Amino acid sequence: MRFKLALFLFFLSFSSTSTSIELEKKFACTWDPVGNNGPVIAFFSDLIPKALSWGVDLKFIPYENENSAAADLASGKCDIAIVTAILSRDFVPFAGTLDAIGGITSEKKLKKAIAAISSPKANKIMTSGDYEMIASLPVGSMFAFVNDRRINGIDKFIGKKVAILNGDIQTKTFAELSKAIPVATTLSNFHHYFEQGKVDIVLMPALAYNTFELYQGLGKDGGILDIRLFYGMIQAISRKSEFPDDFGQKVRKYMVTRLGNIINLIKTAEKKIPHKYWIKTSQKTKDELEHLYKDIRLTLKAQNLFNPKALSLLWKIRCHSSPQREECILPKEQIK
């Protein structure tokens, strides 16, 4: 009897210790422009009970400055940082290349890309050193918001001031190749610059229209080019060593089930923008932008600033959907 009691107490003690280790609190430093009650926190909070069932106790910490969230991940203060792909590429280059301009330009292609990176086959490329991209969610198609409707084509970008968020290399290259003027901004001040006329063009999704009050910068003369440049991404980057080995794969798989919800939010945001602001672009402008996209991607790939495997994935998705595209029949060295 004593032996059975001792054995029971041993297993009880082991179980208690194991539970304590499994439920160690992990901190997700989350960029949300609205703060603790903002949309990003609200969307990701659904992950809390799922993570608990996987043995991880997540606590989301709101950051109104995404640079601070990224810095705290790098210093070890955060176990996860949820930031835009602009900053995530510093941790996992593959993940940060998924928002390459012209890479994903439709909902159909978006779903294929998210499904591809959520496959167990993609686990290795989701990791760089001790960092892992455990979630990638779209914030919507990026559009060019302009403060003058006459800025409706590449030739009209010349000499105009473009907002460059957090030193984003892609938008900077976009400005340079279109002979516009890059202006350094952050997510905290770019909308004020737009409203004050310090910048003429900002690349933002429809969700930003109300969140950042971009209608103030559009005023009576501004508008939004109706071309979908690329899908902006918010990504969760973890310190892999702080989590169970399969945690990242579980999160990516779960987030696929949540994709429909965020797509609905995006569609609703696009419909809420007054019709008067949309600028219909010509086929000539669309074709010119298509070539500009490719030049930007190839430039950044040559500079080792864009991950070639990510660009290859996006190219395959585009060409599977539209094999007649010019880029799908060009020699390989000229593609992606």
Residue-wise pLDDT for 148-191, tens only, equals 999 999 999 999 999 999 999 999 999 999 999 999 999 889 99
The residues facing 26 across adjacent strands are 58
* Same-domain check for residues 163 and 88: no
State residue 18's pLDDT score.
Answer: 43
What span, in angstroms and rounded, lies between the C-alpha atoms of 226 and 108? 18
Q: Is residue 14 part of a domain?
A: no
Q: How far apart are CA 105 and CA 143, in angstroms?
A: 11
2 located within any domain: no
224 sits in the region (left: phi over 0; alpha: psi -120 to 50; else beta) called beta
Asked if 303 contacts 95 with a C-beta cutoff of 8 angstroms, the reply is no
- Same-domain pairing of 212 and 282: yes
**224 and 249 belong to one structural domain:** no
Same domain for 284 and 251:
no
Same domain? 218 vs 247: no
d(CA 158, CA 5): 82
Residue with tokens 């998705």: 317
Cβ 112 vs Cβ 98: under 8 Å: no
Same-domain check for residues 268 and 279:
no
5 in a structural domain = no
Number of H helices and number of E strands within the chain? Answer: 15, 12
CATH number of 46's domain = 3.40.190.10
336 located within any domain:
no
213 falls within a domain: yes
Provide the residue range defining the domain that includes 173: 143-230+275-327
Q: Which of 165, 170, 168 is nearest to 191 (CA)?
A: 165
Contact between 317 and 116 under an 8 Å Cβ cutoff? The reply is: yes
| 261 and 180 fall within a common domain | no
Looking at the fold, whether 253 and 296 belong to one and the same domain comes out as no
Distance in angstroms (rounded) separating the CA atoms of residues 291 and 118 = 30
Q: Would you say residue 9 lies in a domain? A: no
Question: So what's the pLDDT on residue 334?
Answer: 53
β-strand partners of 13: none
DSSP 28-66: EEEE-TT-TTSHHHHHHTTHHHHHHHTT-EEEEEEES-H
Task: Return per-residue pLDDT of the chain as tens, 336 residues.
Answer: 544 444 444 444 434 444 444 478 999 999 998 888 888 998 898 999 999 999 999 999 999 899 999 999 999 999 999 999 999 999 999 999 999 999 998 999 999 999 999 999 999 999 999 999 999 999 999 999 999 999 999 999 999 999 999 999 999 999 999 999 999 999 889 999 999 999 999 999 999 999 999 999 999 999 999 999 999 999 999 999 999 999 999 999 999 999 999 999 999 999 999 999 999 999 999 999 999 999 999 999 999 999 999 999 999 998 887 888 778 886 555 555
Do 219 and 316 reside in the same domain of the chain?
yes
295 and 256 in a common domain: no
The SS3 assignment for 230 reads: coil
Mapping DSSP to helix (H, G, I), strand (E, B) and coil, where does residue 275 land?
A: helix
Does 13 reside within a domain? Answer: no
Distance CA 111, CA 1 (A): 60
128 and 173 share one domain: no
236 contacts 155 by C-beta, under 8 angstroms: no
Residue type at position 131? Y
How many structural domains is the chain composed of?
2
Same domain, 188 and 223: yes
3-state secondary structure 133-184: EEEEEEEEECEEEECCCCCCCHHHHCCCEEEEECCCHHHHHHHHHCCCEEEE
Is residue 222 assigned to a domain?
yes
Of 317, 286, 307, 295, nearest in space to 112 by CA:
317
Phi and psi, residue 30, nearest 5°: -115, 120
